[in-house]
Amino acid sequence: MMVSDILNLKESLIVMAGPCSVESESQVLETARALKRLGVNVLRGGAFKPRTYPESFQGLGEDGLKILAMAREETGMSIVTEAMDLESLRLVEKYADIIQIGSRNSQNFPLLKAAGKTMKPVLLKRGFGNTIDELIGSSRYISMSGNNNIMLVERGIRTFENSTRFTLDVSAVPVLHEKVNYPVIIDPSHPAGNSRYVEPLALAGIAAGADGIIVEVHPDPSRALSDAAQQLNLDQFSRLYSKIKEISRIMNKNVI
Ligand code: PEP
Ligand code: MN
């Protein structure tokens, strides 16, 4: 199935999973093989990483994209990966099936316009300081070039609550569904900030009517080069995936 078809299937729940960052060929291939075996069709993984501190791992760049392409070649999975600026967008466009625009770039208007011109599906994350209407405004910078293959991601916003990394705004799911016709995806990993909270947030998002989820999964989270605390290991993801299938049945959605 083409990714562009997936976006039109309102009765579907798209599952995207994979590591926060592409770290090595073995890390990505091990993850991709395990996910594909479970039935997951879209692999995530960042090659260009927006990190808070410049001393932190910044991603493998084009070498990382080549590793993702290798995983697609072997497993047939589609690839979603982040473009951080106009330069990385050119490369991501070449290698990826879905272009991710991250929370920190959610109002980078030149980047949004350029992503719209690619005509590839765009996974647009909500800025953690942005309202739902601002997210919709951002989506219009993509669609103004005629690219309507957009998925909107609720990935948590900043509030006064600090026991989780961000606060997942579950309300964004029904509100976005009322206002726009794009699939709404829940990212339970970044608001959780801790693997313990990922499952409840993922299930809450699907129960609220989300059209998909994007989850961070790593073969050995404790050794991850970014977002180590929140990534699920393969067993944890496998258990979550079973529950995703059960809730999706109640929600009348086919897991794809
Ligand atoms: C990510 O997906 O790893 C990421 C950086 O997410 P966000 O832009 O939501 O912080
Ligand atoms: Mn991450």
Q: Tell me: the pLDDT tens digits for 135-167?
A: 999 999 999 999 999 999 999 999 999 999 999
Ligand closest to 166 (CA) is 1
For the CA of 105, the nearest ligand: 1
Q: Both tokens of residue 204?
A: 């809450």
Rounded to 5°, the CA angle 95-211-34 comes to 55
**pLDDT per residue as tens digits for the range 50-83:** 999 999 999 999 999 999 999 999 999 999 999 9
Task: Give the per-residue SS3 of the chain.
Answer: CCHHHHCCCCCEEEEEEECCECCCHHHHHHHHHHHHHHCCCEEECECCCCCCCCCCCCCCCHHHHHHHHHHHHHHCCEEEEECCCHHHHHHHHHHCCEEEECHHHCCCHHHHHHHHHHCCCEEEECCCCCCHHHHHHHHHHHHCCCCCCEEEEECCECCCCCCCCCECCCCHHHHHHHHCCCCEEECCHHHHCCHHHHHHHHHHHHHCCCCEEEEEECCCHHHCCCCHHHCECHHHHHHHHHHHHHHHHHCCCEEC
* Calpha distance 113→129 (Å, rounded): 21
Say how many residues make up the chain. Answer: 256
Nearest CA to ligand 1 atom 3: 20
Confidence of residue 1 (pLDDT cuts 50, 70, 90): very low
Which ligand lies nearest the alpha carbon of 230? 2
Distance in Å, CA 190 to ligand 1 centroid: 7
User: Residues lining ligand 1, judged by CB closer than 6 Å?
Assistant: 20, 46, 50, 102-104, 125, 155, 187, 190
Residue 5 has pLDDT above 60, yes or no: no
Structure tokens given for 161: 């609550």
Query: Residue 178, Cβ neighbours under 10 Å: how many?
Result: 8
pLDDT tens, 171-181?
Answer: 999 999 999 99
- Dist. CA 12 → ligand 2 center (Å): 25
Q: How many CB atoms lie within 10 A of CB 95?
A: 17
Rounded to two decimals, the pTM is: 0.97
- Output the CA 191–ligand 1 centroid distance in Å: 10
Q: pLDDT category, 6, cuts 50, 70, 90?
A: low
Q: How many domains does the chain have?
A: 1
In tens, the pLDDT along 12-34 reads 999 999 999 999 999 999 999 99
* CATH number for the domain harbouring residue 176: 3.20.20.70
Inter-helix orientation angle 109-118/132-143, to 10°: 50
Atom of ligand 1 nearest to the CA of 50: 5
pLDDT digits (tens, 9 = 90+) for 79-130: 999 999 999 999 999 999 999 999 999 999 999 999 999 989 999 999 999 9
Domain hosting 87: range is 3-255
Picking from 176, 179, 178, 216, the residue whose alpha carbon sits closest to that of residue 194 is 216
Query: Which residues have CB atoms below 5 A from the ion given as ligand 2?
Result: 20, 227
